[in-house]
Amino acid sequence: MNAPVDEQGSPVTATQEKVQWWSWRIAAEFATALAFAGAFFALWPTDLIWDDGAIVVKYMDNFARGHFYSYNPTDGPVFGISGFLHGLLAGALAYTHVFSPLDSLFASNFLGLTLTGFFLFRVLAQYLPDWRAAVPAWVALMVSCPNFVTNVKEGLETPLHVGVLLANVWAFASGRRRLMWFLGALAVISKLDGILFVVVFWGAFFLREWADGRPADRRVAREALLFAGLPIFAWVVFCYAVFGSPIPQTIVAKLMFHRQSTFVWPGFVKPFLTGKALS
């Protein structure tokens, strides 16, 4: 069998062949994720928004009128959308009138669903290099959570936030340290409960480095401060200057005005401890 050659007729090395294969695989993964998101929106063309989604739509209405992050324009900016990046992206689309206020939310959700699909492929590629195993796993995971599907068509922040979280997992699994710090910061900025996720993965990173005989040094600390600490610090300063606090009003409302459980763990932990997570 003749060895593969490039366009100039020179032999292709094993490394070059592997790079070409992975380039095609990455392109195919992105195209599949994009097609999945497009098919999802085409096959489920609903404009029905209710509950929390209706609150976010009102913010988008005011973005379109030129009011930044305002529920009531006379009140000024209010951090009332728990997904900051989602609100910022959809708000920019509404403000520029690229899309209607409602379609601006769906555009952000479309991007979030695409990123979720793509980075899920990237994470699976780290642990299932054989695409014949990765593709069925990807399909099963993408259709296994009905609550996620509901959020995609509700205009909420979940799709974009999950995409950012999966990008962080991929950066961790593939050893892209600086990108891991930056995406971890984006996860916190995207939605404050990303802090719990980031603490776990950053902790896993330090444990992995220690187990491999590479304890953290000053260079690692400088990278973490530059690529994670600085973006988070800038975001906190911005929130204090614009909103008065980096704590979303959704959290304040739940803590101050909703009846509280006597259970001391965060709400999402309780179902796992009581055996009701999969019921």
Q: 1-6 — which CB contacts under 8 Å span 24+ positions?
A: none
Structure tokens that stand for 266 in this block? 């965060």
pLDDT in the model for residue 137: 95
- Give the span between the Cα atoms of 190 and 34, in whole angstroms: 22
Query: Amino acid identity, residue 85?
Result: L
83: helix, coil or strand? strand
Structure tokens that stand for 54 in this block? 């209706």
Give bridge partners of residue 191 from the DSSP assignment.
Answer: 83
- Give the span between the Cα atoms of 240 and 91, in whole angstroms: 20
Q: What angle do CA 204, 174, 20 make, to 5 degrees?
A: 170
Question: Do the Cβ atoms of 15 and 28 come closer than 8 Å?
Answer: no
> Residue holding tokens 């979940």?
158
pLDDT in the model for residue 269: 56
pLDDT in the model for residue 211: 83
Structure tokens that stand for 83 in this block? 């997904």
- Give the span between the Cα atoms of 189 and 233, in whole angstroms: 10
pLDDT in tens, 32-84: 999 999 999 888 877 777 778 888 999 999 999 999 999 999 999 999 888 99
Task: List alpha helices for 44-145, DSSP H.
Answer: 52-64, 84-95, 101-127, 131-142
pLDDT in the model for residue 258: 61
Question: Do the Cβ atoms of 173 and 123 come closer than 8 Å?
Answer: yes
Q: Name which of 134, 103, 146, 117 is nearest 34 in CA terms.
A: 117
- Global confidence as pTM: 0.83
191: helix, coil or strand? strand
Question: Do the Cβ atoms of 161 and 117 come closer than 8 Å?
Answer: no
pLDDT in the model for residue 8: 46
Inter-helix orientation angle 52-64/101-127, to 10°: 120
Read off φ and ψ for residue 120, nearest 5 degrees: -65, -40
Give me the half-sphere count of Cα atoms (radius 13 Å) on the Cβ side of residue 145.
14
Read off φ and ψ for residue 244, nearest 5 degrees: 95, -10
Q: 181: how many CB neighbours lie within 10 A of its CB?
A: 25
Give pLDDT < 70 ranges for the chain: 1-21, 254, 257-279
- Give the span between the Cα atoms of 178 and 261, in whole angstroms: 39
